[in-house]
Structure 1
Amino acid sequence: MKFSDFFNNWLHENYYKNVAQIGKKGDFFTAVSVGNLFGTLLAKHFLKLIDDGIIKPPLEIVEIGANEGYLSRDFLSALLEFRPEIFSQISFFIVEPHEKLRILQQKTLESIDFTHKNNLEECHFKNAFFFCNELFDSFTCELIDDNKMAYVQDYQIIFKPIDKALKEKCEKLNLKKGELSLELENFLKKLDQVSEKFIFAGFDYGTLDNDRFSIRIYQKHEVFNLFEVPLKDFFGKSDITYNVNFNHLKIVIENLNFKLLHFKKQSQALIDFGFEELLEYTKNKNMKSYENLLSQGKILFFNFDEKFHFFEFAKL
């Protein structure tokens, strides 16, 4: 089978479907694992988009790839803190294909009125704000090595001649070696089809100049080289991921006539969202909460690799 099918079976038909744990007890951390600061700053950014007239209520707010729902909880809690009247002008959705994760999300957000959607195909949004954290690096990908692409047979990766259409796409992207996600293109096309207007805010790990394989396995916070371990021992039980090709993302955004609003380091984005203002606001209200946010900030700014980026694009 093509590597993309193997990747899908590993990650989506087994690992996520059976509720992968994230954080200390899981295989990897995300910014959401640190605490509520990440979601709070995203909420401040969302409110600034409204205040600056870039988006106007009424709005549909949509998280994709919510896992247990903690980012949505932190985001909505911050809206309740800063501007509770906004709830009369928003409706909230989570796009989630996995039943076990939907149950967890309902438990996390039990006091919130929201709607689950299984996939984008069953959606129609008039004026949406989408957000996600580490979604694109879970999209299925092919492994490209010049004129060859990866297949998997009996848990062994083998390279065979590349499909002609895929080769042409790689040439357009100047991609000679690395990961290529056709699902990324399909996802953004679906987003276009189901939305009249939107802003999409995302965070992910990646680079602009992919020229090597970045695909790797995470198990209990250890990193393993995909090509050096017995895949059968890890299949469906550990996380598999890779660096997002942001050059590819930018090209697809341009081809769909979306407007790229922001592309910057995650740490810079969190500062721009109002980290210092939030600290000052919290310090004046509760010193213990202030110290907690300061501690979270140190982790977010110093413990996450510089490859973490924030990107935001729009169909307006």
Structure 2
Amino acid sequence: MKFSEFFHAWLHESYYKNAVSIGKNGDFFTAVSVGNLFGTLLAKHFLDLIDKKVLKLPLELVEIGANEGYLSRDFLAALLEFRPEIFSKLSFFIIEPHEKLRNLQKKTLEGVEFTHKRSLKECHFENAFFFCNELFDSFTCELIDDDKMAFIKDFKLVFEPMEAKLKEKCEILNLKKGELSLELEEFFKDLDKASKKFIFASFDYGVFNPQQFSIRIYQKHEVFNPFEITLKDFFGKSDLTYNVNFNQIQQLIKEHD
């Protein structure tokens, strides 16, 4: 199978589906894991956009991929402290495909009125503020090595000639070696259709002009190289991630204006 299919099976059919913990007791930390500062700063940024009339009320607040729901909790708590009167003009949504994570989010946000959506395809917003943290690195990717792409055979990485369409995309991005996400392209298409007007705030780690593989595994805060371990031992039981290709993000933003 293609590496992207293996990636999907690993993360979305196993790892995320089981509602893994993030933080000290999980496999990795995020900015949200260590306190409420991140959510508070995001709330200040959101209010600044309103004050500058970049965003206009009423609007929909939408977090994509909230995991336990801590970022939304901190964000909403800060809004309640800074400007409680704004809540009458806000509707809150979380996009989450995994049932166990939806249940965790309901528990974390107990007392908060919000609506779950399974995907952007279900959404038809008028005026939205989307936000997400470390979302793009969860999108399936292909591993590119010159004119070859990665496949998985018996839980081993092998490289074979890539498809012509994928080769064209790599040439446009001048990508010789690294990761490329076709799922990211579909996400931008769905985002474009999900709301008539929107601001999208995303936080992720990545690089411009990748020159090497960044694909890696996190298990109990240790980092493992997929090329050096037995993949079967880690499959679905640890986090699989990579550096987002910012060249691709930049290109997609331009394509969708």
Q: Do structure 1's residue 99 and structure 2's residue 99 form an aligned pair? A: yes
Q: Deviations over 1:74-123 (max 9, x none)?
A: 00000000000110010000000000000000000011000000111111
How far residue 211 of structure 1 moved from its aligned partner, in angstroms, is 1.1
2:96 maps to a residue whose letter is: E
- What is the distance in 2 between the residues matched to 1:182 and 1:118? 20
How far residue 4 of structure 1 moved from its aligned partner, in angstroms, is 0.2
Aligned residues between the structures:
257
Q: Do structure 1's residue 53 and structure 2's residue 34 form an aligned pair? A: no
- What is the distance in 2 between the residues matched to 1:7 and 1:152? 10
Matched with 2:68 is: 68
- What is the distance in 1 between the residues matched to 2:201 and 2:193? 18
Q: Alignment RMSD, CA only?
A: 0.5
Matched with 1:182 is: 182
- What is the distance in 2 between the residues matched to 1:194 and 1:240? 28
Matched with 2:160 is: 160
How far residue 204 of structure 1 moved from its aligned partner, in angstroms, is 0.3
- What is the distance in 1 between the residues matched to 2:29 and 2:13? 21
Alignment of 1:185-264 (within 5 A): 185-257=185-257
Matched with 1:37 is: 37
- What is the distance in 1 between the residues matched to 2:163 and 2:180? 13
- What is the distance in 1 between the residues matched to 2:9 and 2:184? 17
Q: Do structure 1's residue 3 and structure 2's residue 11 form an aligned pair? A: no
1:175 maps to a residue whose letter is: L
How far residue 20 of structure 1 moved from its aligned partner, in angstroms, is 1.3
- What is the distance in 2 between the residues matched to 1:111 and 1:77? 12
- What is the distance in 1 between the residues matched to 2:208 and 2:79? 33
- What is the distance in 1 between the residues matched to 2:188 and 2:87? 28
Alignment of 1:122-141 (within 5 A): 122-141=122-141
How far residue 232 of structure 1 moved from its aligned partner, in angstroms, is 0.4
Matched with 1:170 is: 170
How far residue 162 of structure 1 moved from its aligned partner, in angstroms, is 0.4
- What is the distance in 1 between the residues matched to 2:8 and 2:127? 31
1:17 maps to a residue whose letter is: K
How far residue 233 of structure 1 moved from its aligned partner, in angstroms, is 0.4
Matched with 2:26 is: 26
How far residue 166 of structure 1 moved from its aligned partner, in angstroms, is 0.2
How far residue 209 of structure 1 moved from its aligned partner, in angstroms, is 1.8
Secondary structure of 2:19's counterpart equals coil
How far residue 193 of structure 1 moved from its aligned partner, in angstroms, is 1.1
- What is the distance in 2 between the residues matched to 1:167 and 1:89? 47
How far residue 142 of structure 1 moved from its aligned partner, in angstroms, is 0.2
Matched with 1:150 is: 150
1:59 maps to a residue whose letter is: L
- What is the distance in 1 between the residues matched to 2:115 and 2:69? 13
Unaligned regions of 5+ residues in structure 2, if any? none
Secondary structure of 1:211's counterpart equals coil
User: Structure 2-normalised TM-score?
Assistant: 0.99
